[in-house]
Amino acid sequence: MTAPVPARRAGPGSNMARAPTTTADPALDAAALLRRIGFFTLFVIVPVAAQVSRRATVVLAPITVALLIIASAIDGKQRPPGGGIFRLLRAPAFLAGTLVIFWSALSLAWTPFPGPATERLANLVATIVLTLAGYLALPDRMRSANLYLLPLGVGAAAIVAILIGLFGDAMMSDNGDGDGALERGSVLLALLAWPAVAWLRSRRRDTGALATVLLVAGALLLAPGLTPLLALGVGALAFALTNVRQALGVRVTALTAALLLAAAPLLPFLIRPLGAALFGATAPSALSLKVWQKLVTTEPVRFITGHGLETALRGRFVGLLPANAPTTMLFEFWYELGIVGAFAAAFALYASIRRAGRDSSLLVPGSIAAFATVFTIGCIGVGLTAIWWLTSIAIAVLAFVAIERGQFRSSRPKASLLVKTQV
């Protein structure tokens, strides 16, 4: 009998199939899925849902941040939190903003409405904590597939807003808060248009960026109020100036915003004569400026300390303020927080804009345009710390941080077309 011949092992050159040596990690796959769902919710669902629901932004934003935090806890792709927190604590803008929060908390001692003011301060702090948590949870390197969701969501939300503007009576007949949702949704559209444009321009998608702005402008043209459209126009001017001369655009935007906030009590004395000449002395805007002017002249001491949180809003209901008093951010800062809060906020705004001007040059025009848009909306008619307004700003901030972390590219050697041969 002959012994059986042992089977030969496959050598290096053998064509026999090998078993795969790599296995997928379910934890990493789950983290990637959670992160994709989070960004899809933040960049697509939130802008679209904000057009039909007044509470969509406030409800969905914390859920999105929670998904991002869970994903980062699983795969650990975020930056070390210690370094990020240390940089924030050293930033002049963050320190000035902390002073604003501290002075707001201190004003609870002399505000006539301590209960509502405490709730308002708690909402403000919660929104800041939410933004910081989202900032720390963002991965160190953002995938392009997640960032392309932003212009997709902005475009989809603009289309929904246009359809509602054209056929609003039929589409929103069963929605009791349709008008309020459209106003808030249009504000969010104006804010998110600029990070979407910045991302597309960083990928050399200039045609897509222009189409996004035009689509958003068309949606805002059909929106109930003119504030978002006007703010988008101011942002476009800041974008154009910064795109042509970056240093000049950053400097002009920073100085204009900071000076308007710091010198706000002088505005009624300068603008009211012009408004009365153009629209008449009995125009609502002229009468509102007259109220502001009277408050400055009759209560100069209280403009040092401020009247405390919540007095600008609730003071109208109890007779502390006339019903036609201004409702802008400029008036509320000075009336509630006085010179300390207003000057600290002005410095924080100036330092933030100048800091944004040192980022990637491709993103600077978009970020400066976003600052100009936010400041214009606050100056025209949005209150100081409405929770939906603060959440909208937080979403725009997270969007800019995300696209900034998506600006990495590996340089690859170009393949030579000339092949040298040896004769």
Phi, psi of 139 (to 5 degrees): -65, 155
Mean pLDDT calculated for residue range 272-296: 79
Q: Using one digit for the tens of pLDDT, what is the confidence trace for 138-174? A: 998 888 999 999 999 999 999 999 999 888 755 554 5
**pLDDT of residue 348 exceeding 70:** yes
The percent of residues above 90 in pLDDT, for the chain, comes to 48
In 175-217, DSSP assigns E strands to none
Inter-residue contact 310 to 336 (CB < 8 Å): yes
* pLDDT band at residue 85 under the 50/70/90 scheme: confident
In a domain, 116, yes or no: yes
In a domain, 382, yes or no: yes
Question: From the CB of residue 419, how many other CB atoms can be counted at a distance below 10 Å?
Answer: 5
pLDDT on residue 284: 76
pLDDT on residue 421: 41
**pLDDT of residue 22 exceeding 90:** no
Exposed/middle/buried for 55, CB within 10 Å: 0-12, 13-18, 19+? middle
**pLDDT of residue 411 exceeding 50:** no
Number of domains observed in the structure of the chain: 1
d(CA 90, CA 95): 7
pLDDT on residue 394: 93
Question: From the CB of residue 420, how many other CB atoms can be counted at a distance below 10 Å?
Answer: 5
**pLDDT of residue 419 exceeding 50:** no
**Per the structure block, which two tokens stand in for 225?**
């109020």
In a domain, 20, yes or no: no
d(CA 394, CA 323): 30
In a domain, 21, yes or no: no
Burial 339-375 (b: 16+ CB within 10 A, else e): ebbbbbbbbbbbbbbbbbbeeeebbbbbbbbbbbbbb
In a domain, 416, yes or no: no
**Per the structure block, which two tokens stand in for 391?**
């959440």
Mean pLDDT calculated for residue range 310-329: 84
Q: List the domain range (segments joined by +) for residue 390.
A: 30-404
Largest CA distance in the chain: 121
pLDDT on residue 413: 44
In a domain, 422, yes or no: no
Range scoring the smallest mean pLDDT among 20-24, 250-254, 269-273: 20-24
pLDDT on residue 195: 95
**339 compared with 8, residue with greater pLDDT:** 339
* pLDDT band at residue 316 under the 50/70/90 scheme: confident
Give the CA-trace dihedral at 24, 29, 32, 37, to 10 degrees. 150
pLDDT on residue 305: 86
In a domain, 376, yes or no: yes
In a domain, 7, yes or no: no
